[in-house]
Chain A
């Protein structure tokens, strides 16, 4: 009797509760934006997903014949490089090759270059920029350090027969390797950019040039044709608050240090692990491990960035726009793919977007702006994000391609006048 009464009393409550749950589920199932493949773009731009569920596509290049070479982080069905032919809003898989995964991929003067975590290979191309002998690449670099952290080797080429390869630091801030703070010993063979010849087989550290020093980790790097100069994006250090709670608040630790864009000259040193850049104070700072206090500036011998972005956004792709399709302001400016943060917790995560950095006369000019957003979807966390932008490439018609290594999508972004 009592139970029956209770049940009757409860019925409407159940109904309301049910309705709430039903509505919540309905919203959760709704696709994130029906147009533009779920992305938010500036007016006049549109996006389509030209390929989906490819695995973990990292960097990519597009040939004049509208073929995409995309490097997967790990091989799928035994193949690490896919060749997709673009036909308008769709792609078809032409072929795949390479028994290794990796990040770096580039085309220059009749060769395709690709890297895994320790080596760089090149493949001769025919007149249609197709790989002639996919089973037999030339190995041009070997023996690069890869120690469980910041392993991917991104690559880019200059106009003088050289290839540039990053070797990331296998440590956040060198603490394990420099306990007495007498000098970080790992920067002789990591945390920098190395220059190698494009046509010499099996080069290793001794054959290359230690081109730039003290750069913690780089995934996005490219050659700026206007300046004839290397540009790189550094992933800044983590855990200022966790390691120095008395010097940095949780919020400062989320925003700092800046993710830095460096214009590199041979021999430059960006100062890792001794230095970080504070984008709010616009200042190169002495790191707290080496006597810094959040106020003391760094030794001026270390270079300053040419542009700086909020902490932990994780820049994984850098590309200068040289096409004619986008409006004039984009010409010669930089696109940056920010993979998205994890080290901003407990503050909300951020990044997960493609940013445009205006340039004038080969230098950053004016504030950066978010160009494409919405990759993550409703759950902007490193594990919950639906997509994370990583690689950038320009198509022959001036479209921008973005590779997402989380959902496996390749986006094509175009401007429609």
Chain B
């Protein structure tokens, strides 16, 4: 009984401290980014997860990982173009070659692409800046003008 009580107390202390710590934390990530991440996760689950997997690690020799790679963390326009146009060439990541084709996803809206890329760039251990719908819009316009 005593043990149980103290265990509950411990848990409560722990939880309250957690929420306390969270509440005190300055609001770095705006609610807008959090909302974008949440929407992006849905897009990821429906469109991307089948190949890139729930953990973003992909499939050896076939579907490239999207964790800790310059393709995801680097130049945003290049990344946006991959979503719009698909990807049809062998790609080398961490010494491995991946060769499955990625289909174009230009049917997604600017906001959906911004959301999913924000989610990908901030998940699976990735820590890169988010993507705005306006950025996707610009890349799409240039892409279509070609």
Contact = CB atoms under 8 A, between A and B. Distances in A.
Interface residues of B, number: 23
Interface string A340-351: 001101100000
Nearest to A344: B50
A383 B59 CA distance: 6
A348 B138 CA distance: 38
B13 A9 contact: yes
A13 B13 contact: yes
A383 B58 contact: yes
Contacts of A151: 99
A346 B14 contact: no
B50 A239 contact: yes
A375 to B, nearest CB: 14
Interface in B46-99: 49-51, 53-55, 57-60, 62-63, 65, 90, 99
Contact of A242 (B17, B50, B63): B50
Interface string B4-35: 00000011011001000000000000000000
B13 A382 contact: no
Given A149-B100, A381-B53, A342 B17 contact: no
B143 interface: no
A233 B49 CA distance: 27
Nearest to A343: B50
B135 to A, nearest CB: 27
A239 B47 CA distance: 11
Nearest to B99: A148
Interface string A383-417: 11000000000000000000000100000000000
Given A148-B90, A406-B60, A9 B17 contact: yes
A383 B50 CA distance: 13
A12 interface: yes
Contact of B13 (A12, A342, A343): A12
A1 interface: no
Contact of A383 (B10, B13, B49, B65): B65
B45 interface: yes
A239 B45 CA distance: 14
B101 interface: yes
A342 B98 CA distance: 14
Contacts of B10: 12-13, 16
A384 B57 contact: yes
Interface string A243-273: 0000000000000000000000000000000
B55 A384 contact: yes
A17 interface: yes
Contacts of A6: 17
A24 B100 CA distance: 36
Contacts of B101: 148-149, 176
A381 B17 contact: no
A337 to B, nearest CB: 16
A127 interface: no
Contact of A342 (B11, B45, B62, B90): B62
A242 B47 CA distance: 8
Interface in A11-29: 12-13, 16-17
B57 A346 contact: no
Contacts of A12: 10, 13
Contacts of A406: 60
Nearest to A10: B17
10 contacts: A9-B13, A10-B17, A13-B13, A16-B14, A17-B14, A148-B99, A176-B101, A345-B54, A383-B55, A383-B65
Given A242-B50, A345-B49, 11 more contacts: A9-B17, A13-B10, A148-B90, A148-B100, A148-B101, A149-B100, A342-B62, A346-B49, A346-B54, A384-B57, A406-B60
Which 6 residue pairs spanning A and B have beta carbons closest together?
Answer: A13-B14, A383-B57, A382-B59, A148-B99, A342-B59, A12-B10
Interface of A: 6, 9-10, 12-13, 16-17, 148-149, 151, 176, 239, 242, 342-343, 345-346, 381-384, 406
